[in-house]
Structure 1
Amino acid sequence: MEEGYEITPVAKERRKFSLLMLFAVWFGAGISIAEFWAGALLTPALSLWAAVGVIIVGHIIGNAVMGLIAVEGYEMGLPTMVLSRGALGIKGSILPSALNYLQLIGWTAVMLIVGANAMNALSATFGFEGYPLWIILLGTLVTLWTYVGPRRWEALEKISALLLLILSLWLTYVTVKKFPIGELLSRPGTGGVGVMLALDLVIAMPLSWAPLVADYSRFAKTKKGAFWGTYLGYFIASSLFYFVGALTNVAVGESDPIGIILAYGLGIPAMLIIILSTLTTTFLDVYSAAITYKNISPRADAKKQVLLVGALGTLLALVFPVDRYEGFLILIGGAFVSLTAIMLTDYFVVRKGYDPEELLDESGPLAGYRWRALSVWGLGFAFYIGLAVEGLLGIHVPILSGIGSALGSSIPTFLLVSLLYYLVERR
């Protein structure tokens, strides 16, 4: 098996990822149409000033969670789902791993759909439309990008990150120049979304990446590189695209980035942003799905899983409309808000570290299920769904729906699960 496709600890002398490399990985993940849409949800309900404040504070908090998982991955040299064995047990980690595997295939499809829609809208301005062809092209490129493996990502990631930085700064400049920023900043919000709910919308995005972070930080050369490469790369890119989304929505009431791109007549540069951002975001889903599967079946061939996940994501994107399962995928994401809270509390507060060999010993003390942790995880997952389900699917849950509409679902779930797990383990 090629290096980078196993779930055994990566020896520190064989780690190749510098701070700059991890910065490039997470910068590429943060340049995404999803971030643009999320930023547009903040305005005009909030003023642009308030939206900027929420974006910054939310990313400071959410990225701290990503950074801590990155440190855990660096110290143990293990992927995220293998690290979850410390709290849940080896068999206990199989269910969240299966959910993560399924959601990553789903998000692969969603990102291919979003990218293909954008490419099709742009190519139509040149007289060509071919949505299925764009799906297949992007799916093939994402699969090939992933298949070459971590040892060969460095040049790809650094070049694409540099291009995305240039293109994104240019897009931001065009956007800011087009609108009267001073007047927009002084415009009051219309209400309807409270600051806490808006903060939750921002924090939820970096939290959604938490199940993937250690898959990449285990290759980091230094602990500082693991933390700050992850933290700063995603912080800068995601915050920038949140801001552009919020700005354009408060300026012209346009929350669709494809519509904005067409209105600006950005053409070829926009195509480059869409293709590169689809690749640099979606390959993380494909690779982590393959590594997650090895936590379920350690003898599986991860490179074959890359091909399978890429093919399944592409097929789903061709067959199903995105609105059929995007809300479902967000609900599944609640499993990982709860899991991340447990993992961080267990690693940094309760046990203060693991023995990597113990996490891999299928006949050792962690071989089975840790039922207390699984109970707290399940309770937190159910709590998250109760908070989020009305906003996503229109199903009202007494009391919980009210809390969810005021405070969101990620922050209350993370705090409740962290406290419950600490109390249960310290009892």
Structure 2
Amino acid sequence: MIYDGAVSAGTIFNSGHALFAIIIGALIILWILIGITNLGKVNIAAMTGLLLLTIILCVVIFRNGTPENAGTAMSFGAAVELSASMPLSWLPVIGDYTRDAREPIKASLVSTIVYGLVSMWMFTIGMGASIYAGTSDIAEICVRAGIGIAGLLIIIFSTVTTTFLDALSAGISAQSICKGLNSKWAAVAASIIGTIGAILFNMDDITGFLYLIGSVFAPMVAVMIGTYFFLKRDAEHQTFDWMNLVIWLIGFILYRLLMHTDFVIGYTLPDMLITMLLTVLAGKLFPKSISTERIVR
């Protein structure tokens, strides 16, 4: 995400992406150091500005553009898969971000609804950009529309406010593995590593990575749903379950195999349903699976 934001910002000003990667990385670290509890007014200002700028971008695309050939279309199933990968990968992030909410059910519900509505809006902008502007490059669209500075602000702040959550979650995950780590400084370290990676490596095509995300998180979420909602097992009071790990691995392999078949509904849903069924069946047949250590969250 740092790479994409830096490349887009660099395109607007016809410069390399390294400088903007450093700027975005520094802002992400600043967001982390300020902390979630102190980000109230800062986040409100950033989100309000992003909302207004995105409305402007949306109006520019659909009012001034003319329909053009959008290029070769992917299959509906492939589009479903790429659309499903990001929300699935965000589940742990949202869990880390809302874990201290006073009303977790309401916080999760609001997160889901807002994420869904805004995602549909963003997909609409992307589709409109491809059809009316003849390109899906947001930086090129901003340059053509004459909103270079506004476009730059959209790119940088949307990257910072989103990737900040990724880095924060990385810090929390690191702390859950190594109890002695400070989650905030682990998040800062993750941001630094991400910034260096964005400068050194080419990440123009991340389609394969999105499919990898889907193959990892789809069976993981299925195991979680089967264990918590159907087997009624609370992870906070259960020991580490090797059976669930094996089922996740089966789900992972199944996803990679299903990738070779183009289903109209994609392969995330079939993979999740099969993995969930295996989780419930294994839980019923082997209620006392092999366990090693207690999970502490």
TM-score, normalisation: structure 1: 0.61
- Residue type at the aligned position of 2:7: N
User: Does residue 280 of structure 1 match 2:161?
Assistant: yes
Distance 2:87 2:135 in 1: 24
In structure 1, how many angstroms separate the alpha carbons of the residues matched to 2:207 and 2:74? 21
Distance 1:253 1:221 in 2: 46
SS at match of 2:179: coil
The residue number in structure 2 matching 1:115 is 5
Who is 2:109 aligned against?
Answer: 228
Give the equivalent residue in structure 2 for 1:243: 124
Q: Is the 8 A contact 1:201 1:408 kept in 2?
A: no
Matches of 2:229 and 2:17, distance apart in 1: 47
Taking a change above 3 Å as real, the CA distance of residues 196 and 166 of structure 1, as seen in their structure-2 partners, is same
Equivalent position of 1:46 in the other structure: none
Residue 263 (str. 1) matches residue 134 (str. 2): no
| Counterpart secondary structure, 1:322 | coil
8 Å Cα contact 1:211/1:336 also seen in 2: no
The answer to whether residue 29 in structure 2 is matched with residue 158 in structure 1 is: no
Amino acid at match of 2:124: F
Any gaps of 5 or more consecutive residues in structure 2?
286-297
What is the one-letter code of the residue matched to 2:276? S
Per-residue CA deviation, residues 285-335 of structure 1 (Å, 9 max, x unaligned), is: 110001011121122221221221111111111111114876246414421
Q: Give the alignment's TM-score, normalised by structure 2.
A: 0.86
**Structure-to-structure mapping, 1:115-194, within 5 angstroms:** 115-124=5-14, 129-179=15-65, 193-194=74-75
The aligned residue for residue 174 of structure 2 is 293
8 Å CA contact 1:147, 1:306 repeated in 2? no
Q: Do 1:179 and 1:251's aligned partners in 2 also have CA atoms closer than 8 Å? A: yes
Corresponding residue number in structure 2 for 1:63: none
Tell me, yes or no, if structure 1 residue 370 matches structure 2 residue 241: yes
Residue number in structure 1 paired with 2:234: 354
Choose between structure 1 and 2 for higher RCO, CA contacts under 8 A separated by at least 6 residues. Answer: 1
Q: Name the % identity.
A: 30
State the AA in 2 paired with 1:301.
Answer: N
Shift of 1:242: 0.7
C-alpha separation in 1, matches of 2:81 and 2:52: 29
Distance 1:144 1:333, change over 3 A: farther
- Aligned counterparts of 2:188 and 2:148: Cα–Cα separation in 1: 32
Tell me, yes or no, if structure 1 residue 418 matches structure 2 residue 276.
yes
In structure 1, give the amino acid aligned to 2:246.
S
For residue 134 of structure 1, give the secondary structure of its aligned residue in structure 2: helix
Q: After the TM superposition, which of the residue ranges 327-336 and 206-215 deviates more from structure 2?
A: 327-336
**CA deviation map 1:270-290 (0-9, x unaligned):** 111011101111101110001
Residue type of the alignment partner of 1:384: Y
Contact 1:164-1:273 at 8 Å conserved across structures:
yes
The residue type paired with residue 155 of structure 1 is K
Query: What one-letter code is carried by the residue in structure 2 that aligns with 1:156?
Result: V
